[in-house]
């Protein structure tokens, strides 16, 4: 059984070069969407079926002309990707069982099984999964499953020039991340934190991050908001059952009442 692998993305050393995006598109033969011209050199916009990697540019530069060194917080960059959640929302709702865990414990969508119902898109809390109009199925980062099977490093990690994206055994990455966080905090970066390192978010993430600010700043749900879709199953069905029961009772009263009157007058 292969060891569980992961990505550790250290956003503190991301320079926004987008080599990861390019390498990912090259390897996975993704033509990409028409370029967008958004704030901060972002020309992909979001993760979707054509962008398995997306470098976020989070502009926190103050409007004031008296700009001081921002300790890495003035303009945050983050190479975003599927988180390969231990407890994956997409996998939970998928009715066709097209979404599976691989032998590397990564989350993989089988394109030949998916029928394009898109329920996973409504479930993924990170907005990772996109619908491929040409293929008629959904798709997202495969964690370079084909490269893993050939003992190769995933394309994005291979291409990253600053080692912001690190690939390896998840247990080793956890140790590296802990050491890096401790070093940053010792340097006074109080807001630095690990996201998805422990099980507080979807049981732990296969692709976890070192963030320089709160998760919400990076458009990531915090531990309080990171919930599985199934949380509403019991309450949803109970509400429906009770309403249906009251509805049947109301129907009984209406039909019996008027039926009795009808028979009496007849």
Task: Write out the binding residues for another protein, residues 205-224 only, by CB under 8 A.
Answer: 216, 219-222
Residues 87-106 that bind another protein (CB under 8 A): 89, 92-98, 100
In the complex with another protein, the residue whose CB is nearer, 26 or 146, is 146
Site string for another protein, 223-242 (x = CB under 8 A): --x-x-xx-xx-xxx-xxxx
In the complex with another protein, the residue whose CB is nearer, 88 or 159, is 88
Gap between the Cα atoms of 38 and 40, Å rounded: 7
Residues 141-180 that bind another protein (CB under 8 A): none
Query: Could you say which of 110, 149, 162, 198 contacts another protein (CB under 8 A)?
Result: 110
HEC string for 29-93: CCCCCCCCCCHHHCCCCCCECCECCEEEEEECCCCCCCCCCCCCCCEEEEEECCCCECCCHHHHH
Gap between the Cα atoms of 84 and 256, Å rounded: 56
Lookup: tokens for 115: 């029928």
Beta pairing partners, 85: 205
Lookup: tokens for 81: 């990707």
Query: Could you say which of 58, 81, 124, 165 contacts another protein (CB under 8 A)?
Result: 124
Task: Please report how close the Cβ of residue 240 comes to another protein at its closest, in angstroms.
Answer: 3
Q: Binding to another protein by residue 60, rule CB under 8 A? A: no
CA 17 to chain centre: 21
Q: Could you tell me how many residues make up the chain?
A: 266
Q: Considering only 24-32, 62-70, 136-144, 192-200, which stretch makes contact with another protein by CB under 8 A?
A: 136-144
Task: Please report how close the Cβ of residue 161 comes to another protein at its closest, in angstroms.
Answer: 28
Query: Could you say which of 73, 74, 117, 223 contacts another protein (CB under 8 A)?
Result: 117
């Amino acid at each position: 059984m292969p060891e569980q692998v992961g990505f550790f993305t250290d956003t503190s050393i991301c320079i926004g070069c987008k080599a990861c995006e390019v390498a990912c598109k090259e390897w996975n033969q993704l033509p990409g969407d028409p370029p967008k011209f958004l704030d901060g050199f972002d020309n992909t916009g979001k993760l979707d079926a054509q962008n398995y990697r997306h470098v976020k540019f989070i502009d926190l530069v103050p409007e004031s002309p008296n700009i001081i060194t921002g300790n890495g917080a003035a303009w945050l960059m983050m190479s975003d990707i599927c988180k390969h959640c231990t407890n994956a929302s997409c996998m939970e709702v998928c009715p066709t069982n097209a979404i599976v865990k691989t032998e590397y414990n990564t989350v993989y969508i089988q394109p030949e099984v998916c029928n394009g119902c898109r329920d996973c898109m409504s479930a993924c809390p990170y907005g990772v999964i996109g619908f491929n109009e040409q293929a008629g199925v959904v798709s997202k980062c495969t964690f370079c499953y084909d490269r893993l099977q050939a003992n190769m490093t995933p394309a994005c990690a291979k291409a990253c020039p600053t080692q912001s994206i690190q690939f390896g055994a998840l247990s080793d990455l956890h140790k590296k991340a802990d050491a890096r966080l401790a070093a940053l905090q010792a340097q006074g970066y109080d807001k630095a934190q690990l996201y998805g390192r422990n099980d507080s978010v979807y049981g732990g993430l296969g692709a976890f991050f070192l963030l320089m600010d709160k998760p919400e700043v990076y458009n990531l749900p915090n531990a309080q908001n990171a919930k599985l879709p199934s949380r509403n199953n019991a309450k949803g069905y109970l509400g429906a059952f009770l309403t249906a029961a009251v509805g049947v009772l109301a129907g009984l009263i209406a039909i019996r009442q008027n039926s009795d009157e009808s028979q009496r007058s007849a």
